[in-house]
Amino acid sequence: MASKRLFAEDWRGRDIPSLPEIQEEYENRNAPLTLFLNPIKRRWNMKGKRIGWSGLAVLVMAVTFFLSPAHAQVPDLSLWEGTWHRLNLRETELEFDGSKMVRSNLNSTLFLNINNQNGAILNATIWVQEGGSWMSIPIPINIIGGTSLDFLCYVELKMTDIFGTTFLGFTAQVTGRMTGGVLRSASMKSLGGYSWEIGPGDALAGSVSINGSLMNAAPIL
């Protein structure tokens, strides 16, 4: 603790450091980021300076550098390639129609086909029914961490059509069970999700819940 307190006080009386100085000092002392940045903030205040764009850029770069999460080891998810999943999507929405808020609950069925793994991404295709016909949307499933049979992921989508632009995102846990070396069952459960849309004359926002299960064969679309 003494060395960390000394580290915080060392910045008093010094000029605002450059990014290389920030990185070197932090790595050498391995002190908490709050101890590292507070003296710099005090130094700016003592001089009565406004934080200009250049100074702010250094600070933002420093915070980004130190707070960027270490990537967990990505599991081998090749056993999921080629699998089909039936997804039940539930949405609770609030829509502003230009004069008032309107609440609605929507339920729909989607189909997910996982194509292949590319590093920390599962390339997949989601099938959505639109106007009586099915349309396909490529989506990247971003792997957060876990094992080949129990992992966390997130999805973020942006879709634009003549009605406006829709944003949808969620985090989920995907689990599977192997029997005889074959994936026999699987589930996808969202841990939290959102959607929002801006279009001509209206806007909406809502929550999203997804539950899915493994299919034995591809659906007839």
Question: Hey, where are the domains in the chain?
Answer: 2-67, 78-214
Structure tokens at 149: 């049979």
> Which residues make Cβ contacts (< 8 Å) with residue 134, sequence separation at least 6?
127, 128, 221
Mean pLDDT to the nearest integer, 97-112: 92
Confidence band of 139 (pLDDT split at 50, 70, 90) = very high
Give the three-class secondary structure for 119.
coil
Query: Among residues 108, 154, 153, 98, which one has the least CA distance to residue 135?
Result: 108
C-alpha–C-alpha distance, residues 100 and 6, integer Å = 58
CA atoms within 13 A on the CB side of 63: 11
Q: Is the pTM of the predicted complex or chain greater than 0.75?
A: no
Please report where in the chains the tokens 């081998």 appear, as a residue.
76
1-15, 16-30, 150-164, 204-218: least confidently modelled range: 1-15
Structure tokens at 51: 């934080």
Mean pLDDT to the nearest integer, 11-23: 51
* Phi-psi category of residue 188: left, alpha or beta, with phi > 0 → left and psi -120 to 50 → alpha: beta
Q: What is the pLDDT of residue 56?
A: 36
On the question of pLDDT at 122 being above 90, the answer is yes
C-alpha–C-alpha distance, residues 3 and 108, integer Å = 58
Fold of 78-214: Lipocalin (2.40.128)
C-alpha–C-alpha distance, residues 91 and 167, integer Å = 13
Contact yes or no for 191/169 (Cβ under 8 A): no
Amino acid at 84: W
Please report where in the chains the tokens 């001509």 appear, as a residue.
200
Per-residue pLDDT tens digits for 32-77: 444 434 443 433 343 443 434 333 333 343 333 333 444 568 999 9
For 3, the enclosing helix (H) or strand (E) is helix 2-9
Helices (H), 48-184: 53-67
